[in-house]
Structure 1
Amino acid sequence: MLSKKYKPSETEAKLSKFWESNQIYTFHPEDSGDIYSIDTPPPTVSGKLHIGHIFSYTQAEMIARYKRMQGYNVFYPFGFDDNGLPTERLVENDLKIQAKDIPRSVFTQKCYQVVEAYEQEFQALWHSLGFSCDWNLVYRTIEPRTQRISQKSFIDLYKQNKAYLEESPVLYCTHCQTSIAQAELESKELDTTFNHIPFMVDGQVLEIATTRPELLYACQAIFVHPEDTKNAHWIGKKAQVPLYDFTVPILADQDVDMHKGSGMVMCCTFGDTKDLEWYKTYSFDYKKAIDIHGFMAEEVPYIGGMHVKKARQRIIELLTEQNLLIKKYAIQHTVSVHERCGHPIEIMPSKQWYIDILTHKDTLLALADHINWYPSYMKTRYTTWVENLKWNWCISRQRYFGVPFPVWYCEKCGAIMVADETALPVNPLETAPPSPCSCGSTDFRPESAVLDTWATSSVTPLINARYGEPDDMTDQLLPMSMRTQAHEIIRTWAFYTMAKTYFHFGIIPWKDIMICGFVLARKGEKISKSKKNAKLEPKKLIETHSADCVRYWAASAKLGTDTTFSEDDLKVSKRFITKLWNAAKFSLMHLEDWEPCQVDHVLPQDQWILDRSRLARDKASQHLDQYEIGLARQVLDSFFWHDYCDHYLELVKDRLYKPDVHGKKNRQSAQYAIYHTLLTVLKAYSIFTPFITEEIYKAYYETYESTPSIHLTKWQKATSMDTFSIAFGDYLKMILSDVRKYKSEKALSMKDAIGCLTLTIPEAYTHAFEGVLQDLYATTHAERIVVEVGDDFELIMC
């Protein structure tokens, strides 16, 4: 029936073809049953997938399988986020080219070619893991349909006055050559020097400590905390800026840290976000110091045209030469860097497109209360982020491979011309507006920037629902049932999706959000491509250990928590796979001569394992309803390893082998229990290890269950539970465990005989124990078993 040894490499390839050819996981919108829709994160096409991706994506896939077996019509699409800066970097690195050095159209075409190869590789990996998504629903964030939906989203927000164009200071990455949003900032500890510089005030020295002396030319003011008794006397005076000999006012502000440096701080345009806040608050003039390439502006005396780092060194040299450097010492300080490249960001005026979120902060905070957060504490991360937002969302990027803004500008009057929705998608660099400007001019300048990739991936619910397309399913799918994602992108993907969906429809994007943890390297850092610590390639792990082994490991952690990984962790998975195969092989061997049917004679111990399996299934189901995959697996593991294998199969083994001794009806009772218990076990584990469970199911159960795949069977909760049966089974487990312990301590074989077992049990269980005595004699090898009545359970061996 089952081969002696399980062969995953043969089984997994065979079953993958079976599932695909029979469309086991195809979504049918016309089918009955409530739709359960999943908003799956489209992996960024920026390099190879690593074990961290496998961890989180597989957990979500297990939920899809669980919901399908709960009777839902599961809508489970997959996508690829294949535009934007990460993809451009991949193409540049792979092809050894620079986007800025070749025509934009040529670079874009090369991007299409590279991402197609990576996406085929990604899809093959998900296939090899047995993902039950419907590949007919796949989307790409750069494809025409997605571009159309993304551009339509922009136009809708523009018409609502929520998307707007403004020239103002913006966060800018001079390395990536693009504006960025607040959500793309990370904090990084960098080595630098604190430089104490003398500003002169009425012939006296006012000492300022700064890490950015290259910005002296752009100094606007000196700030002092109003309660700083040591320095308050400077307030209201003017200070002369060293080297440049112009004066700036000395002002009071509560935000000054009087315990840092000299207790006073200079404000420049712009050193950091605090400078920008003061610039806006006090209406300072803008003085350009740094250009978009990360070099000092040509007009800056002494250091114009130098790279910022070299300019900093040169200014320090000049200050030293002119005795204008009081002291200098090394420090580590926190700097805002671009998450994509790790380079410090600058702030500079630029004309960019924004989405207004600051006006709607209260509404966006309140939205969180209408979504179920799993785990619940992740909601705090969202609210903390929204509460601390200081910038509107900058959605324009000065890059090449992305969704174009469907916008032109009239060269005569400057008016903004937005594309007609019926013409989408459009590329304004290649297409002219269909009509003249309202001023009569036909001379237009196309917008050359592209949309931030988050501006597209934030509409994945709309992409999934085919918003505005001929097969629009918005009414059926929104809000979607569940979003799954990592906790690091709560501030981006979760927040932006919530904002956009609300702005478009006035609703939440999904009912539940499932937040997964990271996989960490052994030294305690997140495994990622950028950190170059993702040495264990998923493809190799699957080929070496099997998909089910990798999946079983992925189901090991509590939701939202980070976990570590090494290849040794898969040894636990292998032991489980071997145990499940051997237990099924033993069980099915004893069902070869049995036709599944109802029996009118079920022994108490057989009823116990049936009820205990249902209890384990229902407890696992409760955890899965909360998206706690790791806890659900723990419940099932405890039942399978201990209750079913260690206790029950050992207890009934003799009865199965010797019907002439125990009686045919008693053997049929065990067969009935094994048939249904093993089927429950297989169904429950099928969401974690779909290949081996399907192989066992098809080897036997398919004939009797009349369903071609275990993954189309139903995993339903019990309507009631026999607590008496469960308690009776607990007594049985205690007896078997105590006997094993006794024999082990006496260095006896489990088959060695013992003289007498005296059991003291509550009176209510005496009748049940009469039905189990024959099994107990065979299992314990006791020469005599005495059952006595008492208030508490007790076991005496002699």
Structure 2
Amino acid sequence: MLNKKYNPAESEKKWQEYWQNNDIYKYENDSDKETFSIDTPPPTISGSLHIGHIFSYTQAEIIARFQRMLGKEVFYPFGFDDNGLPTERLVEKEQNARAVSMPRSEFIDKCLLTTKKYEEEFKKLWLSMGFSVDWSLQYETINPMVRKISQKAFLDMARASKAYIKESPVLWCTTCQTSIAQAELESAEKEATFNYIPFMVDGEELIVATTRPELLYGCVCLFINPSDERYLKYIGKNAVVPLYNYEIPILSDENASLEKGTGIVMCATFGDITDVEWYEKHKLPYRKVIESNGRVADNVPLISGLTVFSAREKIIEILKSKNLLKKSEVITHTVSIHERCGKPIEIIPSKQWYIDILSERERYLEAADEINWYPASMKNRYITWVENLKWDWCISRQRYFGIPFPLWYCSKCGKVIFAKEEELPVNPLESKPSSECTCGSTTFTPETAVFDTWATSSLTPLINSKWNTEKDITKKLLPMGMRTQAHEIIRTWAFYTIVRSLFHTGQLPWKDIMVCGFVLAKKGEKISKSKNNAASSPNELIQKHSADALRYWAAGAKLGTDTMFSEDELKTSKRFLTKLWNAANFCIIQLQDYNGMLPKELMPIDSWIIEKVKILGKTAEEYLNHYEIGLAKHEIDEFFWNDFCDNYLEIVKDRLYKPEIHGKEERISAQYALYNTLLELLKLYAVYVPFITEEIYQSFYRKFEKSISIHKLQWNMKADTNNEDILSFGENIKKLIGEVRRYKSERNLSLKEKINILNISIPEKQVNYLQKTLRDIKACTWAEEIKYSISYQCDVDIK
């Protein structure tokens, strides 16, 4: 029997250790079972985990358990994205130091120590949540195997000219001191000032409005829309730049806005992405203003050496003093910011490595239709992103803690010297090419940039399958069964993984993609590690409420939708856990003398509950095959609370208690139904609340079922035939019992108050079932007498 009260703290710790010690979730590569593989997001080492991680990772973990209980061999690895800018920023914050202020090797050592600490913390949390991960498959994106795979993948792309180097305008974060990719941009509404400044054209003032007057020295052209009749006469002429007094051309372009400012647009190198497009389209000259450190270049008169913001303030003061500021107006406009630090980006020319993505845009759009998206609406986000791509993917970062590019440059002729495959992984800062350059030189300059972290994490299907190593299992795993991720990284992780997989393997990375929502700290603001805006840590919540309670809560949301979190919501979870424990305890008490005996004949209401749980299993499976964990849980909950607890247990209770009245065989029938229905319920709930279901299973079922864990069992009670008559009969009995309860409630009568006569109308083909159920009904309703008649539908009259 179970203890009177369930102790989650004791139970959860016990079963964590039991599952680990008995390899309950170990992936068997040699198994002849069908493999279901999961591409799990390696959490970025950028701070502590929060309730948002619990929410999304738990939803995916439920799918892992579900697929395992379908009898599949589940490949469920976990990794840690522990290199790149997010980790560096965390280390700088914790050490209160900047990477540039210490030797590179010293900073990398600090990064390694920090990532190890957080990885241990993350793993401990996932274990405490009962995640059914095979930890022997763990990887880190900085470890030697992953470095080798990442470098090998880059070399393959470079040799195919899919990865290339060029000097061109690049998105640049002056705060993080590195180039970034288009996918790392976010938009933010910022307050700015439109400054109206006169450019002179043939002695006449031409007023131009700009929010970036500090770029006047970088102005290379004015643009007018060819349909703007106000200014057509100026097209083809030259204008004089105020303060700096040099001439620039006035050109026409249809992308010049007629409504914005005065309708005349200043093009400077570079104020925004449109400036870059005009620079390339019209082959304009480059005039340098902003340096990579975010300060104005030394050669710029009036404002050299100042930060962008200070330069803007000073140039406005100078314009005012010379009567060159005609007016100013405050506006709110959209600016591009770096997602990692939230600061506005600049655009500066730089030599960077890119992966060509623009040339195969159509193939990437086709891929969207070849993958199953859950929910389906998320496919539109992917398509919108691909259709609006403007830049190839910049994969080089001017940082320190990352996977280095495996290459050098010949100091004599400038040729790129790639490392040999057998030498990987390599660090060009610590080694040299194994042979001389084709020009005969033996002097080389190492590449100091490192890969963008997405350039490695986009390879997770290849990392999981140990691509191009001695343990390569790509043929067995790819395409993987499912990718799980949040919706905000569709443009990065999902898209980049599709790009890399199509190139390296010629096939899609996975069949299905499960897109989870966020937990919001408040309306419109997601909980995040960087903002540290979660009220309680996951560990505190587990200790206070239990892992099963958190899991049950996380499973309730509709897939892909964001949700708010309040600890009050866990009251529902705890109420459920208590109900499950008490219902199981009741059943087990009634099964103490049951040894698996088969009844000579199943009583109708026992047949009904068994048939209902079969149908429930089928329904839940259909929902979970479409990743609708919340809808599946709702169906299971409805059955558990309504059919099983509120009705079935109440109907058979007297028969279990009093075999001398109802009959010994009738009691065995109830026991058989109890045993099997509860077991199937536990198996259904095991994917959601693994700890309490294991505790109940081990306390009673283990000695009968023999499996060492409930999580090794399968969902196998599927409805082969639909017994409509018995199902209809059960629903009719539920209806009449409900009517009796309502009758007593409306009269403020106790449910145990006797009623004189219960008149039941029932379809003719259910009369036989009713006759066999009369004693159950009398006991449940406290009816002194039951009369029944034939009718096309069930009805009840109480006297």
* 1:41 corresponds to 2:41: yes
The one-letter code matched in structure 2 to 1:154 is F
Q: Match for residue 176 of structure 1?
A: 176
Shift of 1:418: 0.5
Which SS does the other structure have where 2:171 is aligned?
strand
Q: Match for residue 418 of structure 2?
A: 418
The one-letter code matched in structure 2 to 1:161 is S
Q: Match for residue 123 of structure 1?
A: 123
Unaligned runs of 5+ in 1: none
Q: Match for residue 376 of structure 1?
A: 376
Which SS does the other structure have where 1:521 is aligned?
strand
Shift of 1:597: 3.1
Q: Match for residue 213 of structure 1?
A: 213
* Partners of 2:597 and 2:398 in 1: CA distance: 69
The CA deviation string for residues 161-187 of structure 1, in whole angstroms up to 9 with x for no partner, is 100011111000000000000000000
Which SS does the other structure have where 1:362 is aligned?
helix
* Partners of 2:592 and 2:323 in 1: CA distance: 96
The CA deviation string for residues 697-735 of structure 1, in whole angstroms up to 9 with x for no partner, is 011111111111000001133323322222211111111
Shift of 1:736: 1.5
Superposition CA RMSD, Å:
1.0
Q: Match for residue 655 of structure 2?
A: 655
Shift of 1:613: 1.0
The one-letter code matched in structure 2 to 1:542 is I
* 1:628 corresponds to 2:610: no
* Partners of 1:277 and 1:772 in 2: CA distance: 80
Q: Match for residue 759 of structure 2?
A: 758
1:709-728 equivalences under 5 Å are: 709-716=709-716, 717-728=718-729
1:26-175 equivalences under 5 Å are: 26-175=26-175
* Partners of 1:722 and 1:43 in 2: CA distance: 48
Which SS does the other structure have where 2:666 is aligned?
helix
Shift of 1:377: 1.1
Which SS does the other structure have where 2:153 is aligned?
helix
Shift of 1:755: 2.2
The CA deviation string for residues 413-460 of structure 1, in whole angstroms up to 9 with x for no partner, is 001011011111000000111111111110000000000000000000
Q: Match for residue 237 of structure 1?
A: 237
The TM-score with structure 2 as length reference comes to 0.99
Shift of 1:250: 1.7
* Partners of 2:64 and 2:73 in 1: CA distance: 10
Which SS does the other structure have where 2:363 is aligned?
helix
* Partners of 1:773 and 1:487 in 2: CA distance: 55
Moved more, 756-765 or 211-220: 756-765
Shift of 1:794: 1.9
* Partners of 1:296 and 1:718 in 2: CA distance: 74
* 1:768 corresponds to 2:761: no
The one-letter code matched in structure 1 to 2:735 is M
Which SS does the other structure have where 2:65 is aligned?
helix
Shift of 1:523: 3.5
Q: Match for residue 503 of structure 1?
A: 503
Which SS does the other structure have where 1:64 is aligned?
helix
Q: Match for residue 792 of structure 1?
A: 793
Shift of 1:73: 0.6
The one-letter code matched in structure 2 to 1:740 is R
Shift of 1:35: 0.7
Moved more, 636-645 or 720-729: 720-729
Shift of 1:236: 2.2
The one-letter code matched in structure 1 to 2:526 is K
1:546-695 equivalences under 5 Å are: 546-695=546-695
Q: Match for residue 733 of structure 2?
A: 732
Which SS does the other structure have where 2:525 is aligned?
coil
Q: Match for residue 352 of structure 2?
A: 352
* 1:305 corresponds to 2:305: yes
Structure 1: 4+ residue segments shifted above 3 A: none
1:466-545 equivalences under 5 Å are: 466-545=466-545
* Partners of 1:145 and 1:255 in 2: CA distance: 48
Which SS does the other structure have where 2:721 is aligned?
coil
Shift of 1:205: 2.1
The one-letter code matched in structure 1 to 2:318 is L
The one-letter code matched in structure 2 to 1:95 is Q
2:222–2:250: 8 Å Cα contact kept in structure 1? yes
* Partners of 1:60 and 1:646 in 2: CA distance: 31
Moved more, 750-759 or 579-588: 750-759
1:244-255 equivalences under 5 Å are: 244-255=244-255
Which SS does the other structure have where 2:468 is aligned?
coil
The CA deviation string for residues 664-693 of structure 1, in whole angstroms up to 9 with x for no partner, is 111111101010000010000000000000
* Partners of 1:796 and 1:435 in 2: CA distance: 98
* Partners of 2:756 and 2:276 in 1: CA distance: 87
Shift of 1:781: 0.8
The CA deviation string for residues 258-294 of structure 1, in whole angstroms up to 9 with x for no partner, is 1111122111100000100111100001110100011
The CA deviation string for residues 8-59 of structure 1, in whole angstroms up to 9 with x for no partner, is 1111111111111111111110112111100000000111000000111111
* Partners of 1:463 and 1:50 in 2: CA distance: 26
* 1:293 corresponds to 2:284: no
Q: Match for residue 269 of structure 1?
A: 269
Shift of 1:468: 1.2
Q: Match for residue 322 of structure 2?
A: 322
The one-letter code matched in structure 1 to 2:361 is K
The one-letter code matched in structure 2 to 1:382 is Y
The CA deviation string for residues 623-669 of structure 1, in whole angstroms up to 9 with x for no partner, is 10001111110010000011000010011111111111111111111
Q: Match for residue 463 of structure 2?
A: 463
* Partners of 1:138 and 1:476 in 2: CA distance: 18
* Partners of 1:335 and 1:296 in 2: CA distance: 20
The one-letter code matched in structure 2 to 1:110 is K
The one-letter code matched in structure 2 to 1:311 is A
The TM-score with structure 1 as length reference comes to 0.99
* Partners of 1:516 and 1:718 in 2: CA distance: 31
The one-letter code matched in structure 1 to 2:769 is A
* Partners of 1:523 and 1:359 in 2: CA distance: 39
* Partners of 2:68 and 2:653 in 1: CA distance: 35
* Partners of 1:719 and 1:292 in 2: CA distance: 69
* Partners of 1:687 and 1:667 in 2: CA distance: 31
Identity between Structure 1 and Structure 2 (%): 57
Shift of 1:229: 2.4
Q: How many residues align?
A: 798
Unaligned runs of 5+ in 2: none
Which SS does the other structure have where 1:49 is aligned?
coil
* Partners of 2:247 and 2:765 in 1: CA distance: 95
Shift of 1:760: 1.7
Shift of 1:197: 1.1
* Partners of 1:194 and 1:612 in 2: CA distance: 69
* Partners of 1:358 and 1:430 in 2: CA distance: 35
* Partners of 2:408 and 2:296 in 1: CA distance: 32
* Partners of 1:391 and 1:124 in 2: CA distance: 40
The one-letter code matched in structure 1 to 2:320 is T
Shift of 1:107: 0.6
* Partners of 1:488 and 1:294 in 2: CA distance: 28
Shift of 1:240: 1.7
* Partners of 1:768 and 1:207 in 2: CA distance: 91
Q: Match for residue 186 of structure 1?
A: 186
The one-letter code matched in structure 2 to 1:245 is N
Q: Match for residue 706 of structure 1?
A: 706
Shift of 1:469: 1.2
* Partners of 2:256 and 2:569 in 1: CA distance: 51
Which SS does the other structure have where 2:123 is aligned?
helix
* Partners of 1:597 and 1:476 in 2: CA distance: 44
Shift of 1:190: 1.1
Q: Match for residue 387 of structure 1?
A: 387
The one-letter code matched in structure 1 to 2:40 is T
Which SS does the other structure have where 2:757 is aligned?
strand
The one-letter code matched in structure 2 to 1:494 is A
The one-letter code matched in structure 2 to 1:632 is A
Q: Match for residue 745 of structure 2?
A: 744
Shift of 1:796: 1.8
2:486–2:516: 8 Å Cα contact kept in structure 1? yes
* Partners of 1:385 and 1:324 in 2: CA distance: 42
Which SS does the other structure have where 1:277 is aligned?
helix
* Partners of 2:170 and 2:726 in 1: CA distance: 68
The one-letter code matched in structure 1 to 2:687 is I
